[in-house]
Amino acid sequence: MKYSLTLLLGSLLLWSSCFNEKEEPKGNQTSQGSVLVLNEGNFQWGNASIRSFNLATNSYESDDLFRAANGRRLGDVLQSASRINNSIWLVVNNSRKIEVVNPTDFKSIMTINDLLSPRFACDLGNGEVAVSDLYSDSISFIDAASGILLSRLYLKGWTEQMVAQGNMLWISNQQSSKIYQVDIQQKTLIDSLDIGFGSFSMYEDSEKHIWIATKGNKDLTIPSMIHCLNPQTKTFLFSEELGESGVQDFFVSAQNQVYYIYQNKLYHFTTNSNSLPQTPFYQGTDGILYAVEAHDGKVFLCDAVDYVQNGLVTVLNGNGEILHRFQAGRIPNGFLFIP
């Protein structure tokens, strides 16, 4: 559920459509070298799903891994997924929960319910997990082993992706002009930095620098931007304006490759670049480019189509050429690599 447009379109559609599919559990297993396709589903339809693409064989598994393993639907709007504590944490936003599953067979380990509108889970490396939230004006701290809520830190606004470094947690906020620095041990706000408006995506590169994308605010004439922060000195090494349109998605790979979707085109540059690219890395879809990630030298691009039909995933090589294209579930919004 990346944008309010998804909520609007989902709520206007007929409820009956989400109950047409009847699937029997098959107990499918994920394999090493797979990419999980996260399908958020339509708002209030409860049709979120997870499917798998094998990088070695280039084969796609169309069955919903969670439903096949557990005999029940995942829930309403799969927002994100993270590998934490030898398990996969599936953040299901409108179901107000996190499903924790085994990464091999996708069997449920536990369900964490004491949440309002969770967005992203971040492993803090100390046996705890931080969870951002759309509506609660807080960050939740959860015990990774038991799923017990330990504490909450008040942070006004819509908090999104986070990066943990040592004892510090950096947090983005879609409803603020700042990003936040939190002391993990003390659970206290240390600092906030001005960054434009509407930060939503954060990644750490190999130099331990933090890359951040913002959506801007057209009504306030604040442009969307991409930044690179040195968290030690709290100085920006890279800050570039995109324009009045919002960044649709943003990703930084472990190989220091930066990808972002802007005005329905995919762009790419490396972390040592001095400016933004002028030419798209990929274009040529009539749908809605929704999410991008890169794994094992391949670029995975989500197309939400029209938010009603099943979405598409396009797999590109390092030159932006199409290798594969296959149909995903409703509104594919991200990926998770199984090494």
Please give the average per-residue pLDDT across 199-212, as a whole number: 98
Please give the average per-residue pLDDT across 74-83, as a whole number: 98
pLDDT tens readout for residues 289-335: 999 999 888 999 999 999 999 999 999 999 999 999 999 999 999 99
Higher pLDDT: 91 or 15? It is 91
3-state helix, strand, coil split of the chain in percent (to 5) is 5, 50, 45
Per-residue pLDDT at 22: 42
The token pair at 37 is 């396709």
Per-residue pLDDT band for 15 (boundaries 50, 70, 90) equals very low
The total of other beta-carbon atoms located within 10 Å of residue 72's CB is 10
The token pair at 58 is 């280039």
Q: In what order do the strands lie in the sheet with 210-214?
A: 199-204, 210-214, 224-230, 235-243
pLDDT beyond 70 at 20: no
DSSP string, 118-143: EEEEEE-SSSEEEEEESSSSEEEEEE
Q: Using CA atoms, how far apart are residues 11 and 293, in angstroms rounded to an integer? A: 28
- Mean pLDDT taken over the chain: 91
Q: Using CA atoms, how far apart are residues 275 and 294, in angstroms rounded to an integer? A: 21
pLDDT tens readout for residues 220-275: 899 999 999 999 999 999 999 999 999 999 999 999 999 999 999 999 999 999 99
